[in-house]
Amino acid sequence: MTKFLLSVHVLAVILAVGPVTIAASMFPPTTRRALAEIDSEPKVLSTLHRICRVYAYLGILVPVFGACTALSLGVLTDTWLLISIGLTAAAAGVLALLILPGQHKILADLPAATPTLIRRLGTDTGIFNVLWVIVTVLMIVRPGSTTGA
């Protein structure tokens, strides 16, 4: 059962977090291009925002199956996992409270999107991505784990 839970957890990460990471990263440069050529990019921006929004909901599967896997492995109280859970919650917060509203604000009035707003969104997206990189490394390395490497 543990292998099944871990497989679903990893697949959920790949299929949910991956698209959000890519779409969110593409949004700021696409916004800059849209401001330079108003007719070409607004549809792409709304598609990128929709990808981020829909896959954010699917991303709920990641911690659900992660917790089930951790429980099955008996590592639910390990420090590396608790840190990963905290960082995952932080990444979810950045996505829900900064990235999605920032994208929505830009889409609501594209011609008025300021360079500052676009830079802030790029920074928020970078923070989101770095948090996921750290979680990924912690999940692979599992410092202090007694369940093997």
Residue 67 has a pLDDT of 94
Q: Which domain holds residue 74?
A: 2-141
Domain annotation covers residue 149: no
Give pLDDT, residue 42.
80
Q: Specify the pLDDT at position 38.
A: 63
Residue 111 lies in a domain: yes
Outline where the chain has alpha helix (H): 2-12, 18-36, 42-58, 61-73, 79-94, 100-108, 115-141
DSSP reduced 3-state for 81:
helix
Q: How many domains does the chain have?
A: 1
* Domain presence at residue 81: yes
Name the stretches of the chain with pLDDT < 50.
none
